[in-house]
Amino acid sequence: MTSNTLSTSTTGALPRPVPQRTGRLLRLATQAGVIVLALLLWWFASATLPEATMPSPVETLARMGQLALTGGFWDAVGQTLLTFAAGLLICTVVGVPVGLAIGWSRIATQSTRLVFDFLRTIPPIAILPLVLLIYGPTFEMVLVVVVLGAIWPILIQSVYAARQGESLLAEMSASFRVPRRWFVTHVFFPGSLPFVMTGLRVGTTICLLLTITGELLSGAPGIGFQIQDAQLSLDTPRMYAYVLVSAVLGLLVNGGFWSAQRYLLRWHASNRKESAR
Amino acid sequence: MTITGSKKLQQAAGGNTDVALAARGLGHAYHGRNVLSSIDFEVRRGEFVCIVGPSGVGKTTLLRCLAGLQASTSGTVMIAGEPVTEPVPGVALVFQDYSRSLMPWASVLHNVTLPLRANGTSRAAAREEGLRALTLVGLDDVAAGMYPWQLSGGMQQRVAIARALAYNPALLLMDEPFASVDAYTRADLEDLMLRLQRELSLTVVLVTHDIDESVYLSDRVIALNGSPASVADIVEIPLGAERDQVGTKSTAEFAALRGRVHALIRGSRGSADATEARE
Amino acid sequence: MTPSTARVARTIGLEIWLPIVLVVVWWFASANSTSVYFPPLSSILGSFAHDWLDPAALPKNLVPSLQLLALGYLLAVVTGIVLGLVLGLVAPLERATRPLLEVLRAIPGVALLPIFIVLFGIDLQMKVLLIAFGAFWPVLLNTIDGVRGIEPVLLDVSRVFRVGRMRRLVSIVLPGASPQIFAGARTALAIALIIMVVSETIGGNGGVGYFLLNAQRNFAISSMWGAILALGILGYLLNIVLRIIERSVLRWHRLQQARLESQP
Ligand SMILES: Nc1ncnc2c1ncn2[C@@H]1O[C@H](COP(=O)(O)OP(=O)(O)O)[C@@H](O)[C@H]1O
Ligand SMILES: [Mg+2]
């Protein structure tokens, strides 16, 4: 079963706390320096490359500012976020309970292993042409692709999480004659949460990737469509601006995920201030 | 083919005295907080010296400074008559936590031969040296082919000792090497160290929090106490070369020496308590 | 039958019954299907055999995909490990570049497709680079984490025994980080497959993506289902290959974990 997990660490490495104030200032300065350096490189590249292949950073940011004043921009951002959130919600609400339930039983786990393993390895993009024929370039179409792509890591990781219930804590609970309901809420769920979170982390990334990919390939409304549209109308600054927006969305989603995880897993060893290593 | 460090050390020592290691006014501070202050002592060649002190007093810090793993904030460490600023040839270290100091992905033999291979010994010669060192600590060819985590704790620590021996060290440093094994194994390993030290004329500096252990093993005991820690006193242990767990430990002489070291360390019990929280 | 072979047989039986049942149910439920989108399984399998098992069809449908995937994925893994080692070992560099890396990583790989088309044109090189860019990040970040998670005592050991830089890298850093690196390589493979399919829908050089697009244009539903099946099998086989490599390279890790679990 171990080979089915997505990562060797249960929660991934969290950003480490920074010890000192002066060190922190220096660090921020160097980080800003690196970003400025990257922007300068970008600017240099845009100046040397042929016209209309790459806009300068200034041009791109200016274009982003202009776009931010239009309603169409916020419609696209809102649509992408909606699809992403709906997809993640469905995957979580379905994937986690079903996964935990399957993982609870050894027989169910073994019976479903091959099926899930196979479904997981189908690149979700493969079903896009078919779903596109069925639904046309719509929100529902992207949602189907997102859910069918992102649910597997969440589900499989939840199965794995529930299998951890066989451990010492289960024996401890049995020896103290802890009632089953109490065991589920106080021991089983918290104990499987770190593993569930690993699945959700991967699922979150895949959700956003598939949302934007789906929009880009099918022409369903959203940021992906805007990128594609800008390319077709040879409007490179707009294209770069929307790619940048997608990166910002990715950052926000990652950041949101880390804070949620930090809060939910504040008891976990990876979040304790200083462990004995 | 062995490490040339010992030769160099002998030459340097041959000039003036037979001092293998010296700490001169050694002090160390973490983030401005003094942990060690003006530590002074010398270790002669062929001597078995224990440094003893309560948990958290700064023993590991001291040993890391001696090994050159950590720069002291004041004073100097001299090995072979030269100041130490980084790990020098001919010094081997056995760490407290065997499970973390052995590579889990490498066989026992590979763990033992890595330092030799890294210092230019040929594969075949390193293998031979490694097997010999393993035999010295009582491990056979079968164990040599296993992964360290397939062995018991005591055997793993034997592997760590074999790794240090294979390096043919002029100076062997050990940081609470027997603190994480059970009492029987600990007694075996203590006797193993006594035997090896005699047979190979090793120079050993062993750090421990166990007063009995320090008296049983040493020619001299360096007692640390206080916060920041300093040398309370250095006690000669005239128990002779032949020692055994039951006989030696039940002599009146042993009891007296152990009482003396105990009193030295308790000299500042209060401050030792304050730092005991961290192992 | 000895007890152990009986147990193996039981395990295999447990794992295999559901897939068989599902296929059988699919076969009969779809046998008389008149739905355009859900053709009978028999006709899907027919298309599958025609498009993916016929040696004559493979050079056009499969070989370009495999070539693209191999180049892009290997490029991602090699650069990811090398840069990950550098950033993992040089902590100040890693800290300084972390925000920039986070921004770059946050770009959904496929969103760069239009940019790459404009920059590099539509050719093999562009597609390889796009796959490499997308698959690079999980390898890089996992390698960094793996290197930084190496037991500090082992690094002390290597310093005391004066193990040189190169040997330290090969004997301590790389093996120590390898479990994490493999975890990254698994994620990278999934991403590489996605980007491979997407990039092949651009330009007409054959491959699975191109085939899918064609089937969609021609409304060849059975062929589309066949291609989905083919991609699933391809992904499954590639995962197995990766897992075999991982099992042999990380044999020590697997055995050690098993031992840790058996003695709490
Ligand atoms: N890396 C470090 N940073 C800050 N303080 C440390 C560090 N290592 C040890 N200390 C502190 O220095 C003191 C001595 O620690 P140590 O040398 O490990 O003691 P011992 O080995 O005698 O138990 C302790 O109070 C400990 O908290
Ligand atoms: Mg210590």
Are C160 and B106 a contacting pair at CB < 8 A?
no
Bridging pattern class, strands B230-236 and B74-79: unpaired
Q: Which domain holds residue B201?
A: 2-90+170-242
**pLDDT exceeds 50 at position C87:** yes
Residues in contact with C90: Cβ distance below 8 Å, sequence separation at least 6, in sequence order: none
Percentage of chain A beyond pLDDT 70 is: 85
Q: Which residue's structure tokens are 């600590």?
A: B137
Residues in contact with B122: Cβ distance below 8 Å, sequence separation at least 6, in sequence order: B1
Phi, psi at C10, each rounded to 5°: -60, -45
Chain B hits for C172, Cβ within 8 Å: 103
Q: Which atom of ligand 1 is nearest to the CA of B63?
A: 17
Residue B254 domain-assigned (yes or no): no
Class of domain C39-262: mainly alpha
Residue B174 domain-assigned (yes or no): yes
CATH code (residue A98): 1.10.3720.10
**pLDDT exceeds 90 at position A23:** no
Q: Which atom of ligand 1 is nearest to the CA of B62?
A: 17
Structure tokens at C160: 């005391």
Number of folded domains in chain A? Answer: 1
Q: Which atom of ligand 1 is nearest to the CA of B224?
A: 22
What is the predicted pLDDT for the residue at C205? 78
- Interface residue C215 vs chain A (CB under 8 A): yes
| Mean pLDDT, rounded, for B15-26 | 82
Q: Which domain holds residue A247?
A: 71-276
Q: What's the pTM?
A: 0.84
**pLDDT exceeds 70 at position A12:** no
Among C162, C246, C251, most B C-beta atoms within 10 A, so best to mutate, is C162
**pLDDT exceeds 80 at position B193:** yes
**pLDDT exceeds 80 at position C178:** yes
For atom 9 of ligand 1, the residue with the nearest CA is B61
Distances (CA, A) of C120 to A43, A54, A223, C137, C194: 18, 11, 23, 21, 20
Instruction: Give DSSP secondary structure letters for chain A.
Output: -GGG-S-SSSS-PPPPPP--HHHHHHHHHHHHHHHHHHHHHHHHHHHHSPTTT---HHHHHHHHHHHHTSHHHHHHHHHHHHHHHHHHHHHHHHHHHHHHHHHHSHHHHHHHHHHHHHHHHS-GGGGHHHHHHHH-SSHHHHHHHHHHHHHHHHHHHHHHHHHGGGSHHHHHHHHTT--HHHHIIIIIHHHHHHHHHHHHHHHHHHHHHHHHHHHHHH--SSHHHHHHHHHHTT-HHHHHHHHHHHHHHHHHHHHHHHHHHHHHTTTSGGGSS----
Are A236 and C191 a contacting pair at CB < 8 A?
no
| Mean pLDDT, rounded, for B111-137 | 94
B278 lines ligand 1 (CB under 6 A): yes
Instruction: Give DSSP secondary structure letters for B14-38.
Output: HHS--EEEEEEEEEEEETTEEEEEE
Question: In the listed set B121, B146, B167, which residue is the last one of a domain according to the structure?
Answer: B167
Q: Min CA distance, C162 vs chain B (Å)?
A: 7
State the CB neighbour count (10 A cutoff) for residue B234: 15
How far apart, in whole angstroms, are the C-alpha atoms of residue C50 and residue C53? 6
Residue in chain C nearest B105 by alpha carbon = C252
pLDDT tier at A184, thresholds 50, 70, 90: confident
Are B95 and C154 a contacting pair at CB < 8 A?
no
| Mean pLDDT, rounded, for B251-272 | 80
**pLDDT exceeds 70 at position A19:** no
Residues in contact with A66: Cβ distance below 8 Å, sequence separation at least 6, in sequence order: none
Strand order in the sheet with B230-236: B91-94, B171-175, B204-208, B48-52, B220-225, B230-236
Number of folded domains in chain B? Answer: 2
**pLDDT exceeds 70 at position A136:** yes
How far apart, in whole angstroms, are the C-alpha atoms of residue B182 and residue B153? 9
How far apart, in whole angstroms, are the C-alpha atoms of residue A157 and residue A95? 9
Mean of the per-residue pLDDT values of chain C: 90
| Mean pLDDT, rounded, for C89-115 | 89
B207 shares a domain with B231: yes
How far apart, in whole angstroms, are the C-alpha atoms of residue A179 and residue A202? 34
How far apart, in whole angstroms, are the C-alpha atoms of residue B138 and residue C51? 65
Closest to A155 (Cα-Cα) out of A210, A227, A101: A101
Question: What tens digit of pLDDT does each residue of C12-24 get?
Answer: 888 899 999 999 9
Degrees (nearest 5) of the Cα angle B246, B247, B248?
100
- Interface residue A10 vs chain C (CB under 8 A): no
**pLDDT exceeds 60 at position A277:** no
**CB C182 within 8 Å of CB C196:** no
Degrees (nearest 5) of the Cα angle B124, B128, B131?
135
**pLDDT exceeds 60 at position B165:** yes
How far apart, in whole angstroms, are the C-alpha atoms of residue B210 and residue B50? 10
| Mean pLDDT, rounded, for A191-213 | 89
Task: Give the domain ranges of chain C.
Answer: 39-262
Distance B259 CA to ligand 2 centre (A): 23
What is the predicted pLDDT for the residue at A270? 58
What is the predicted pLDDT for the residue at C119? 87
B57 lines ligand 1 (CB under 6 A): yes
Closest to A64 (Cα-Cα) out of A239, A255, A212: A239
Phi, psi at C151, each rounded to 5°: -50, 115
Q: Min CA distance, C70 vs chain B (Å)?
A: 29
pLDDT tier at A3, thresholds 50, 70, 90: very low
Distance B175 CA to ligand 2 centre (A): 7
B181 lines ligand 1 (CB under 6 A): no
Q: Which residue's structure tokens are 């370039």?
A: A137
Distance B60 CA to ligand 2 centre (A): 4
pLDDT tier at B6, thresholds 50, 70, 90: very low
CATH code (residue B72): 3.40.50.300
Residue B142 domain-assigned (yes or no): yes
Closest to C80 (Cα-Cα) out of C143, C172, C125, C171: C143
B117 shares a domain with B224: no
Distance B41 CA to ligand 2 centre (A): 19
Residue B273 domain-assigned (yes or no): no
Chain B hits for C164, Cβ within 8 Å: 118
Query: Which range is least confidently modeled, B44-48, B275-279, C214-218?
Result: B275-279
| Nearest beta carbon to residue C100 from set A2, A35, A277 | A35
Which comes out higher in pLDDT, residue A43 or B274?
A: A43
What is the predicted pLDDT for the residue at B8? 47
Bridging pattern class, strands B204-208 and B48-52: parallel
- Kindly tell me the sign of the dihedral angle through the C-alpha atoms of B208, B210, B212, B213: negative
Degrees (nearest 5) of the Cα angle C106, C72, C74?
105
B175 shares a domain with B228: yes
Distance of CA B84 to the CA centre of its chain: 17
| Mean pLDDT, rounded, for A226-237 | 91
Give, for ligand 1, the residue of B33, B39, B57 to mutate: max count of ligand atoms closer than 8 Å to Cβ.
B57
**pLDDT exceeds 80 at position B7:** no
Question: What tens digit of pLDDT does each residue of A73-110 get?
Answer: 999 999 999 999 999 999 999 999 999 999 888 899 99
**CB B217 within 8 Å of CB B196:** no
B56 lines ligand 1 (CB under 6 A): yes
- Interface residue A134 vs chain C (CB under 8 A): yes
**Type of residue found at A76:** A
What is the predicted pLDDT for the residue at A81? 95
Percentage of chain A beyond pLDDT 90 is: 52
Residues in contact with B156: Cβ distance below 8 Å, sequence separation at least 6, in sequence order: B98, B99, B102, B148, B149
Mean of the per-residue pLDDT values of chain A: 84
What is the predicted pLDDT for the residue at A5? 37
Closest to A217 (Cα-Cα) out of C235, C202, C227, C118: C202
Question: What tens digit of pLDDT does each residue of A161-179 get?
Answer: 887 755 666 667 777 777 7
B96 lines ligand 1 (CB under 6 A): no
**CB A86 within 8 Å of CB A138:** no
Buried b (16+ CB within 10 A) or exposed e, C238-252: bbeebeeebeeebeb
ipTM: 0.85
Give, for ligand 1, the residue of B60, B93, B205, B207 to mutate: max count of ligand atoms closer than 8 Å to Cβ.
B60
What is the predicted pLDDT for the residue at A14? 38
**CB A194 within 8 Å of CB A167:** no
Using a CB–CB cut-off of 8 Å, the residues of C that contact B are 151, 153-154, 156-164, 167-168, 171-172, 175-176, 178, 252-253, 255-256, 259
Are A129 and C224 a contacting pair at CB < 8 A?
yes
- Interface residue A168 vs chain C (CB under 8 A): yes
Which comes out higher in pLDDT, residue C190 or A20?
A: C190
**pLDDT exceeds 70 at position A39:** yes
Q: Which atom of ligand 1 is nearest to the CA of B176?
A: 21
Q: Which atom of ligand 1 is nearest to the CA of B59?
A: 22
Q: Which atom of ligand 1 is nearest to the CA of B209?
A: 22
| Mean pLDDT, rounded, for A13-22 | 52
B61 lines ligand 1 (CB under 6 A): yes
B180 shares a domain with B134: no
For atom 23 of ligand 1, the residue with the nearest CA is B56
State the CB neighbour count (10 A cutoff) for residue B278: 7
Chain B hits for C253, Cβ within 8 Å: 104-105
Are A30 and C109 a contacting pair at CB < 8 A?
no
Distance A112 CA to ligand 2 centre (A): 50
How far apart, in whole angstroms, are the C-alpha atoms of residue C247 and residue C253? 9
**pLDDT exceeds 80 at position B13:** no
Residue B52 domain-assigned (yes or no): yes
Question: What tens digit of pLDDT does each residue of B76-89 get?
Answer: 999 988 999 999 99
Mean of the per-residue pLDDT values of chain B: 88
Are C99 and A35 a contacting pair at CB < 8 A?
yes
> What three-state secondary structure class fits B268?
coil
- Interface residue A202 vs chain C (CB under 8 A): yes
How far apart, in whole angstroms, are the C-alpha atoms of residue A120 and residue C232? 8
How far apart, in whole angstroms, are the C-alpha atoms of residue A164 and residue A187? 11
Q: Min CA distance, A181 vs chain C (Å)?
A: 26
Are A31 and C119 a contacting pair at CB < 8 A?
no
What is the predicted pLDDT for the residue at A18? 46
Residue A37 domain-assigned (yes or no): no
Q: Which atom of ligand 1 is nearest to the CA of B55?
A: 23
What is the predicted pLDDT for the residue at A20? 62
Closest to B17 (Cα-Cα) out of B108, B84, B88, B81: B81
Q: Min CA distance, C193 vs chain A (Å)?
A: 6
Measured distance between the N- and C-terminal CA atoms of chain B, rounded to whole angstroms: 39
Among C151, C156, C161, C261, most B C-beta atoms within 10 A, so best to mutate, is C161
Distance of CA C74 to the CA centre of its chain: 11
| Nearest beta carbon to residue B87 from set C160, C168, C171 | C160
Residue A27 domain-assigned (yes or no): no
**pLDDT exceeds 80 at position C134:** yes
**CB A158 within 8 Å of CB A197:** no
Chain C hits for A52, Cβ within 8 Å: 118
What is the predicted pLDDT for the residue at A167? 61
**CB B191 within 8 Å of CB B185:** no
B111 shares a domain with B162: yes
B35 lines ligand 1 (CB under 6 A): yes
| Nearest beta carbon to residue C256 from set B91, B93, B149 | B149
Q: Min CA distance, A266 vs chain C (Å)?
A: 20
B49 shares a domain with B157: no
What is the predicted pLDDT for the residue at C1? 55
**pLDDT exceeds 80 at position C56:** yes
Distances (CA, A) of B170 to B5, B125, B207, C71: 7, 20, 17, 52
Residue in chain C nearest B68 by alpha carbon = C160
How far apart, in whole angstroms, are the C-alpha atoms of residue A65 and residue A68? 5
Closest to B275 (Cα-Cα) out of B235, B224, B220: B224
